[in-house]
Chain A
Amino acid sequence: MLYKANNHHLDLVAEVINKKYQIFSHHKNGSVFKYQRNQSPKNISWHSQKSILPFKKIIFPEGLNLDKDNQKVALTGLALCDIAALNLFLKQFSESGIIQKREELLIVGGDCSPDENCFCDQFNLDPLLDFDLFISKRENEYLVYSKSWRGENIIKKIGLKKSLVSFNLKAKAKSPKIDLELTKKNIDNRELTKDYWQKISNNCFGCGACTAVCPLCFCFDQNFLNSPDGGCKRCLNWTSCFASDFSQIQFGHDLRPENTDRLYNWYHHKFVRGPKELKSPLCVGCGRCITACPAHLNIKNIISSMNNKFPVDN
């Protein structure tokens, strides 16, 4: 259902949410945005910003303690790409019991302002847009779109009026067309694209920055956090498929010794293995990896030029 609201109404929405959930939203920090907890329900920025690290640092923090209880969390100001990524993330971990379940999260979307690195329009995000509320600014008011009973319950408590204006959620980026099926086929054919990946990896530092910022990179190591009193806690640490020990087996034997093997594996996971496991590429076109890459590698250009080089259905 669609409702109209003003600033005061949104403050009330925040207060209602705050009673049940820890609220997270975007906070300006110098020239960048961070996705952080709001200590109070006041001054929440409902508009989406592209934080350096996405929501994953909230629901799957580095050093995730396996013995902790999950908190109820409201993730606000999420752009469509992040909502889609969040739903894939939840799908990946849904059975594990280590992160919040969908019912322990309140997902609140917000308008975004795409930058030159965004390419969400290349992905079919619609089936992945499971959220509770979406808050969109119009000239003199806000539209609040509620998509779940959780969202409806919040609206009911405030008593918003329905809106009859037309409203649809659409990926806002305007990027050149990428053929995802061809991308998948080309990447899956390593023999064909071997030299291509070698060239790309020659320019890649192998630092793993792309994997840290990606909302859909969720590889982890399992470790123990030892304490001086002799205790230890099992925890999960973020890792990167670019890390030198990622594919190491007994006696230190590395099954992906070259950077080209690791880079290839990253793209293969995103566009071949991801669709097999979760029925969707593990990329939503947020462009964070492009912004983060110190070697200026650009996933959009890398895929497009690969497809230009190998245009035939192989």
Chain B
Amino acid sequence: MDDKTKNKFEFKNYKIIEKNEVAPETVVFKIQGHIKRDPGQFFQVSMPHLGEATFAPCSDIGDTKHFELCIRCAGSTTNQMIKLLPGDEMQIRGPYGNSWPIGKMIGKNVVVVAGGMGIVPLRPLIFELARYRKEFKNIYIIAGFKTPEHVLFEKDFLSWNSIFKYVKVTVEKSGSKWWGETGLITEILEKPKLSPNDTIVAMCGPDIMFKYATQTLLNKEIPKTNIYVSMERRMECGIGLCQHCNIGKFLVCKDGPIFSWQKIEPELGK
């Protein structure tokens, strides 16, 4: 009996074909190959000898020849990963987890809220919103970063500006050449008028941003069932076994990573 091929931890190798430093200590790897997935799902990426880490691919799911991973140094494994060069291979398994509820967004206003690296799992969603633009009502893209230097996918925001009604990028500390807004993301989120029962929100960022941004949205009377967040927790296996990623009674890898605020809020802090 061949258990080796049956075990769910098996990786496949993919070749890196391009590498770009996009922000301090942050690189985007362009990788050859295709892994069929939905926007918001994630991969487990292994760094032999060292460890494994969890990443959501950040590229358009319509590209069937390449995909992209945006990796920031945030620990021993990612510190080594960003040293990889074009020509090197990456061990990847997945995709895992659920995806953004695009079906529910059809015919509705869509608000995308991204804090820092939170743009990563949202970028494939935005590409879909652009591709099927006519299927949705107004689309609002709101992203926040620390400084202009930290802004990810700047070119994309500039091009989305011509497709969508409302695209705002804000930084906490601005510089002289900064073209966007300055201030906290929650301040930008205050501004647009949103119709409460006709709006779906997709949000990713640090937990602390969820706390304040959801409050802003709830003040606008958007129901908790229409606010979706993508959660980050430590994952070792990605397939519901290791138990590291639980939030209360949910496992982020299996039940998430995307939850409605209605579902996940009572579990936070458990």
Contacts and interface: CB of A to CB of B under 8 A. Distances in A.
B181 interface: no
Could you say which of B48, B233, B244, B249 has the most chain A C-beta atoms within 10 Å of its C-beta? Answer: B244
Interface string A195-225: 0000000000000000000000011111110
A92 interface: yes
A252 B4 CA distance: 33
B49 interface: yes
A47 interface: no
A150 interface: no
Contact of A92 (B6, B46, B241): B241
Interface of B, helix, strand, loop or mixed by DSSP: loop
B236 A220 contact: yes
Contacts, number: 91
A247 B242 contact: no
13 contacts: A92-B241, A98-B7, A98-B9, A188-B270, A190-B270, A221-B242, A222-B52, A224-B48, A234-B9, A248-B234, A255-B233, A272-B248, A272-B249
Given A66-B7, A92-B241, A226 B236 contact: no
B164 to A, nearest CB: 30
Contact of B234 (A69, A246, A265): A246
A174 to B, nearest CB: 32
A188 B267 CA distance: 9
A97 B249 contact: no
Contacts of B138: none
B226 interface: no
B233 A265 contact: no
Interface in B208-261: 232-234, 236-237, 239-244, 246, 248-249, 251
A273 interface: yes
Contact of B74 (A221, A223, A250, A273): A250
A219 B50 contact: no
B24 interface: no
B33 interface: no
A127 to B, nearest CB: 21
A227 B232 CA distance: 32
A252 B74 CA distance: 8
B51 A223 contact: yes
B244 A66 contact: no
A73 to B, nearest CB: 14
Nearest to B269: A190
Given A220-B242, A249-B234, 5 more contacts: A222-B236, A224-B51, A232-B48, A265-B270, A268-B270
Could you say which of B7, B51, B243, B248 has the most chain A C-beta atoms within 10 Å of its C-beta? Answer: B243
A95 interface: yes
Interface of A: 66-67, 69-70, 92-93, 95-98, 188, 190, 218-224, 226, 232, 234, 241, 246-252, 255, 264-265, 268-269, 272-273, 276-277
Could you say which of A97, A190, A219, A226 has the most chain B C-beta atoms within 10 Å of its C-beta? Answer: A97
Given A69-B3, A97-B6, A222-B52, A249 B241 contact: no
Nearest to A226: B49
A188 B236 CA distance: 25
Nearest to A98: B7
A66 B9 contact: yes
> Which 9 residue pairs spanning A and B have beta carbons closest together?
A250-B74, A97-B7, A97-B6, A219-B243, A222-B236, A273-B249, A232-B49, A276-B249, A96-B8
A218 B237 contact: no
B246 A252 contact: no
B12 to A, nearest CB: 14
A309 B49 CA distance: 50
B75 interface: yes
Could you say which of A67, A218, A250, A276 has the most chain B C-beta atoms within 10 Å of its C-beta? Answer: A250
Contacts of B52: 222
Contacts of A268: 248-249, 270
Contacts of A96: 7-9, 239, 241
Contacts of B236: 220-222
Given A66-B9, A98-B7, A276-B249, A269 B243 contact: yes
Nearest to A275: B249
A97 B234 contact: no
A164 B249 CA distance: 47
Contacts of A67: 4
A120 B74 CA distance: 45
Given A96-B8, A224-B50, A246 B244 contact: yes
Contact of A218 (B72, B243, B270): B243
Contacts of A250: 72, 74-75, 78, 232
Contacts of B78: 250
B262 to A, nearest CB: 17
Nearest to B232: A249
Interface string B39-56: 000000010111110000
